[in-house]
């Protein structure tokens, strides 16, 4: 028969006056990485679907800068992306050539993600109280790197519907990963360190957002 865990353990940790241990510091660092890295995948959807600068070419060989709607007209022989333009990012729009898709196809990526957020929050977040924080955080945290690997390997071949599916699956783990990792870290550190931990976590979370935006616009890949 499995012995029950002491229900006062978390309360004892919260009231502890002992110095913060190395294990508690590791737990806080892991929570910051898990919380912030996974969030950035979805916060950067506008960059993934940002329209590039387009160069249109007519059948007589004339080239000129054009908008998306003009590039998709039947009298345009071909079009290419102007990568020298600072507003052209190497993203799903350029890699999957989604320029001529209707705007609602592009917006649907965000819609699918937010629906999956809601589904994952309603059905999966509460599993942390059933199966324990550790298992839920570990499973949810692995969904993002697996999904990113799948996008790198398969998105260019499988197209926009594969994007919907992969982002939807990753979004199911959004709240179970973010909220549970944050709660998990709070439960293993004393009360006096929680304000500092929350400050550091959201500071780095904001820094990740700034860095990724700068990365897209300077390295553009």
Q: What is the pLDDT of residue 19?
A: 63
Question: Which pairs from 192-196 meet CB under 8 Å and 24+ separation?
Answer: 193/20, 193/24
The verdict on 150 and 202 lying in the same domain is: yes
Q: pTM (2 decimals)?
A: 0.66
Tell me, yes or no, whether 79 and 109 share the same domain.
no
Residue range 134-156, pLDDT digits in tens: 777 788 778 878 877 887 777 77
Nearest to 37 by CA among 153, 178, 176: 178
The number of distinct structural domains making up the chain is 2
3-class secondary-structure state, position 159: coil
Q: How far apart (Å, rounded) are the C-alpha atoms in residues 121 and 178?
A: 10
Residue 23 domain flag: yes
State whether 63 and 172 are in the same domain. no
Per-residue pLDDT of the chain (221 residues; tens, 9 = 90+): 444 444 445 545 555 555 667 777 787 888 888 777 766 777 777 777 788 888 888 887 788 888 888 888 888 788 888 888 877 888 788 888 888 888 887 788 778 877 887 887 777 767 777 777 777 778 877 887 887 788 777 777 777 788 778 877 777 777 777 777 777 777 777 777 788 888 888 888 788 778 777 777 676 55
- Residue 187 counted as domain residue: yes
Q: How far is Cα 86 from Cα 109, in angstroms, rounded to an integer?
A: 24
CA angle 154, 159, 164 (to 5 degrees): 90
Domain containing 190 equals 13-49+101-218
* 127 half-sphere exposure, CB direction, 13 A CA radius: 19
Determine, yes or no, domain membership for 200: yes
Q: What is the pLDDT of residue 52?
A: 86
The structure tokens listed for 82 are 């102007």
Judgement on whether residues 43 and 63 belong to the same structural domain of the protein: no
Question: Tell me: the pLDDT tens digits for 43-85?
Answer: 777 777 788 888 888 887 788 888 888 888 888 788 888 888 8
């Amino acid at each position: 028969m499995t012995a029950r865990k002491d229900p006062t353990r978390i309360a004892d940790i919260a009231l502890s006056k002992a110095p913060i241990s190395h294990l508690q510091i590791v737990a806080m660092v892991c929570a910051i990485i898990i919380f912030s890295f996974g969030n950035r995948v979805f916060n950067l959807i506008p960059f993934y679907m940002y329209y590039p600068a387009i160069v249109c070419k007519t059948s007589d060989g004339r080239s000129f800068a054009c908008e998306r709607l003009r590039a998709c007209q039947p009298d345009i022989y071909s079009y290419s992306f102007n990568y020298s333009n600072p507003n052209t990012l190497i993203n799903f729009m350029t890699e999957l050539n989604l320029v001529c898709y209707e705007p609602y196809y592009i917006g649907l990526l965000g819609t699918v993600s937010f629906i999956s957020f809601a589904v994952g929050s309603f059905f999966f977040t509460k599993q942390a109280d059933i199966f324990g924080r550790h298992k839920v955080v570990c499973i949810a945290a692995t969904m993002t790197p697996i999904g990113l690997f799948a996008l790198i390997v398969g998105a260019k071949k499988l197209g926009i519907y594969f994007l919907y599916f992969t982002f939807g699956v990753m979004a199911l783990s959004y709240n179970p990963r973010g909220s549970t990792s944050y709660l998990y870290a709070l439960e293993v550190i004393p009360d006096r360190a929680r304000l500092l931990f929350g400050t550091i976590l959201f500071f780095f979370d904001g820094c990740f957002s700034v860095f990724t935006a700068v990365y897209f616009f300077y390295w553009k890949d």
